[in-house]
Chains A and B, each alone.
Chain A
Amino acid sequence: MERQIINKKKRVFSVEPNKIPPSEVFTRKYTSHLVPALKKLNMNKNSSQVNQLTVKHEVDMALALSAQEFAWSRFLLQKLSSSNNPTTATSSSSNGIRIQERSGKEGGGDEDGEIEEKLRELQKLLPGGEEMNVEEMLSEIGTYIKCLELQTIALKSMVQDTT
């Protein structure tokens, strides 16, 4: 797993951002990452206290690994690796590229502020969203949503399989 240090000044981008991964590829990758990881968890933890956090961690890891063509997966990996080693300093900067004010975009100033607020919220939801431009973030959100949907389908079927 490579750790990529994202410089503040570097632009964030995905490789082929507009290309939507075929769902099959993603889910195959996802399950191939997640299932062995869960098995490993099972085997390692003899006292069947599978911590919820570790499972979540694995889930996120699988998501990040199976969607590596996207920028947000890089950030997700970063977060995960940093949470693994809390001593190492995280390179994610807090001062991301904020959304610049768009002058005269809408009729009233209030509307403009509302929309910016919402875009900022959206940025928070997306891993690494705070370091992106608005345009980039919007395209990343699209792929992120897709991958989340596929992830939920995979997890659902996994849950139902085990029962």
Chain B
Amino acid sequence: MLESLVSLECMSLSSMDVSVLERLKWLQQQPQQQQQVRSSTNASPELLQFHGTNNDELLQSTFSHFQMLGSGFGPNYNMGFGPSHETMDGCISRTSSCQMDPADTMGIILKNSEENIAISLKNKRKSEVKTREEEKTEKKIKVEAETESNMKGKSNMSNTEASSDTSKQTSKGASEIQKLDYIHVRARRGQATDRHSLAERARREKISKKMKYLQDLVPGCNKVTGRAGMLDEIINYVQSLQRQVEFLSMKLAVLNPELELAMEDLSVKQFQAYFTNLPVVAASKPSIMIDAPLFPLDQQGSLDLSVINPNQATSIEAPSASWETQSQSLYNTSSLGFQY
């Protein structure tokens, strides 16, 4: 029902020679989906502003009923559509308070709309930025948002976001008109704030590069998209690493008295082997020989490789389990309990 009214209204409006209508025609020429619906609703913000009430309020409450209003200016100016919607009554009562002939009302609307265009365009621009953020890719959004913010400062942005959040529909509908004006503005703004936007963009690219590098570093970060999730993962990972270090140092504190004297050489060789994936040359472990003469070195060497097992659960639990057995059978190589 609304759509039929919309089409009616289109016909009625297009019959008049008006700047608003010219714009509508221009937009109608563009081959886009739902063009008619959009174009018809495009005029709504301007016409609504004519009433002099709060834009947001009107946009919120009366958008869906604009088709009724619009038809009110045509030959079908009637209260016939009123009873079905309560808010509709309120809207129509607003219009009816002016109570003029349809032709005259249109004329007045046109005059005021031209005066209000500057104001309306500002508002639409802001909401347009919002819609673009919603509809288009992130990069574009950022560029436009940057220019927007550079021009108008943070406070304006917050205001527009608050206001445009509530006017999603109208902003979508009004996107056609806004595009036309937005393009002009964008070109001008680009020239003016080039330095700022470039610097910001460069800075942001740097940061995103680093985030990508961190993403590679932290396991499991690839699945999460968006900076917040990634930062979460990174925080969790760092915390878990720190906890691991604490836990291991605690363990070390407990086991400290049993530290072998030659552990230094041993560790160094271990790590070399680990990182070069080569079997440890067991020639340089004389001190161990002293403790355990029956202890075959090659076995010790291969054990070192297996000891460095990134799998935490098994590697941490195994030593504690095998500690007692090892202490009992120090010279028995088979019962060392190391993992292979």
B158: contacting residue among A24, A109, A114, A152, CB under 8 A = A109
Q: Are B234 and A160 in contact (CB under 8 A)?
A: no
- Known A-B contacts A24-B272, A31-B271, A158-B252; the reply to A153 vs B241 at CB < 8 A is no
Cα–Cα, bound, A50→B213 (Å): 40
A contact face: mostly helix, strand, loop, or mixed:
helix
A118: contacting residue among B207, B232, B312, B338, CB under 8 A = B232
B320 within 8 Å of A (CB atoms): yes
A161: contacting residue among B228, B267, B309, CB under 8 A = B267
Cα–Cα, bound, A35→B228 (Å): 40
Q: Are B210 and A55 in contact (CB under 8 A)?
A: no
Q: Are A158 and B141 in contact (CB under 8 A)?
A: no
Q: Are B268 and A31 in contact (CB under 8 A)?
A: yes
A6 within 8 Å of B (CB atoms): no
A23 within 8 Å of B (CB atoms): yes
B110 within 8 Å of A (CB atoms): no
Interface mask (B257-271 → A, CB under 8 Å = 1, otherwise 0): 111110110111011
A86 within 8 Å of B (CB atoms): no
- Known A-B contacts A156-B308, A162-B260; the reply to A50 vs B253 at CB < 8 A is yes
B contact face: mostly helix, strand, loop, or mixed:
helix
A155 to B: closest C-beta gap in Å: 4
A-binding segment of B46-54, B77-85, B243-251, B290-298: B243-251
Cα–Cα, bound, A109→B259 (Å): 55
A-binding segment of B67-75, B100-108, B146-154, B174-182: B146-154
Which residues of chain B are near A23, meaning CB under 8 Å?
Answer: 271, 275
B269 to A: closest C-beta gap in Å: 10
The 14 sampled A-B contact pairs (Cβ below 8 Å) are A38-B252, A39-B261, A52-B250, A107-B141, A118-B232, A145-B241, A149-B241, A156-B312, A157-B308, A160-B315, A162-B260, A162-B263, A163-B258, A163-B320
